[in-house]
Structure 1
Amino acid sequence: MKKFSFIRIMVFFILSAVIFTYESKVVSIPSRAMGKSYKTTVVTPDEYKNSSKNFPVVYLLHGWSGDNTDWVKQTPVEELADKYGVILVAPDGDYDKWYIDSKINKNSKFSTFVGKEIVEYIDKNYQTIAKKEGRAVTGLSMGGFGALYLTIKHPDTFGSVGSMSGGVDPKNFKNNWGINKVIDPSKSGESWDDYTISTLSSEFLNQNVNIIIDCGINDFFIESNRDLHKKLLGMNIPHDYVERPGGHTWEYWANSINYQMLFFVKHFPK
């Protein structure tokens, strides 16, 4: 029995060494638009180390109050990097900046930073498929809104986009989660429609982009996600839409990322 147990333990460690061989590190990426640098977590798969090929990239956006470490701490994304041979990039969205270029906070330019500057840095410093078809972006909650918004605002950057439990209609929660720090039409002269994904979604008609949206049926964002789904259907914009049991929780998102990663890999260049 002792010998058998020892062999089982050795096999476990050998398999662990083989399976979990991704590399995760934090880099500081400068923003010309904001005049400072922000931390970004980058995960490369094991095959990256000795390969001369270029890899697709999935950008992962955190939710309100999060940072660049959330995805690797809370979900199995590092293992998925190895499984599918993709580079993962998780930027810091500065807690509550909603991934937009704010009209009322001139120092908050996260649409430019994440949608342009980080992508340029990653393509320059890593072996990437440096074109739209080789990039996907997704996120949870604030990050789900951010992923869709960035794809609309930077139509030549991302070929695939996902949203999990996305806060896709900020005006419904304008006094929550720091939204009024970066969006306030009464001060900027804008309209809430400028930040409502269902209103902006007609832009997808002019883009060749693959879309996947999901939300838990017990999530407080479920109705706005259903409205977005109906709007996309009404315009005949192809997309995957999924509702599952669950709420606004890491348990839901840790499960959801598995399906979204499959969706992205399906559409990446082979």
Structure 2
Amino acid sequence: MSVQPFPFFSGALFARKVCHVYLPPSYHASEDRRYPVIYLLHGLYGSEAHWLLKGQAEATLYRMMRSGSLRESIIVMPSDGGYGHGTFYVNWYDGSGRFEDYILYDLIPAIDREFRTIASAEHRAVCGLSMGGYGAFVLSLRNPDVFTAASSIAGALTATSQLTEDMLRTDVCRMIGPVQGPFAKELDLHVLAARRVKEEKKPALHFNCGKSDYLYPLNVAYKSLLEQIRYPHEYMEFEGEHNWDYFGKHLTEALDFIERQFAAAAT
């Protein structure tokens, strides 16, 4: 069985959680071999099961590992924490939940204890769609000592300056606090990239988006920002809308990029 549920306890959320773990074909053939890990994040209104149920992730992973276009890796598909319609994988300003801490200090250590991972940043990456694309970038940019690379598929790659008044009337203010406040700036992908580009250790970034996607303008704006500050990145755009047809199809490019980062680390 290549995919198995893995239950664990989150101290950050004080809750029992479950993620799905894809084990590579050779995992049970040896008790000594260790593997890099990719965390695959779901989007708004989603769950830890959606990459399997709607994105055909298992078939994509099997095909890529069998062909050698992605080295054999452990793929972890977690919940975002399960609060409301989506947590964006960050600690919330109003104290509703510490969803970044849940990923960093509960999920990752549990995976490294239970499975034969290569437990280092150079062999750990994160990828996500929509809200999960934002999650992949914010987690990696805030924690370059944890993730070597991040890939976003049709991600909500936003900055606080791009939030509309309608958005601020929703859960967004509960999440980020005052728009011009220091807490919000720590969750602003534009601010984080501008800060990180000056440092030697920074995550490699890939993002792709459909040209008919409602998040396409945010992706184009983020591409322009990274070009302006000279942050190395890979950007792709394709025909497509914000749906599972696009997400599932373009998981391949996101994983191709991560494979190249793993290969660079290995050499």
Instruction: Confirm or deny: 8 A CA contact 1:198 1:227 kept in the other structure.
Output: no
Partners of 2:240 and 2:91 lie apart in 1 by: 32
Residue in structure 1 matching 2:233, options 236, 239, 249: 239
Bigger RCO (CA 8 Å, 6+ sep): 2
Residue in structure 2 matching 1:185, options 178, 202, 205: 178
Aligned CA distance change for structure 1 residues 147 and 235 (closer, same or farther; 3 Å): same
Structure having the higher helix fraction is: 1
Where does residue 27 of structure 2 map in the other structure?
48
| Cα shift readout 1:57-112 (whole Å, capped 9, x = no counterpart) | 110111111000011112232234332311110111114111111111x2411111
| Cα shift readout 1:25-82 (whole Å, capped 9, x = no counterpart) | 1122211122112221111012111122111111011111100001111223223433
Residue in structure 2 matching 1:90, options 77, 81, 91: 77
| CA shift for structure 1 position 116 | 3.2
Q: Percent identity?
A: 26
Instruction: Confirm or deny: 8 A CA contact 2:159 2:190 kept in the other structure.
Output: no
Where does residue 32 of structure 1 map in the other structure?
11
Where does residue 187 of structure 2 map in the other structure?
195
Where does residue 213 of structure 2 map in the other structure?
219
Greater shift in the superposed pair: 238-247 or 71-80: 71-80
Aligned CA distance change for structure 1 residues 176 and 86 (closer, same or farther; 3 Å): farther
| CA shift for structure 1 position 192 | 4.2
Task: Establish whether residue 159 from structure 1 lines up as the match of residue 151 from structure 2.
Answer: no
| CA shift for structure 1 position 204 | 3.0
Q: Superposition pairs for residues 102-141 of structure 1, below 5 Å?
A: 102-104=92-94, 106-141=95-130
Task: Establish whether residue 248 from structure 1 lines up as the match of residue 242 from structure 2.
Answer: yes
What RMSD in Å do the two structures reach over aligned CA positions? 2.1
**Partner SS, residue 117 of structure 2:** coil
Count, aligned residues: 247
The code of the aligned residue for 1:58 comes to I
The code of the aligned residue for 1:195 comes to L
**Partner SS, residue 49 of structure 1:** helix
TM-score under structure 2 length normalisation? 0.85
Q: Could you list the runs of 5+ residues in structure 1 that have no partner in the other structure? A: 1-21
Where does residue 6 of structure 1 map in the other structure?
none
| CA shift for structure 1 position 223 | 1.1
Partners of 2:177 and 2:131 lie apart in 1 by: 17
Q: Which has the larger radius of gyration?
A: 1
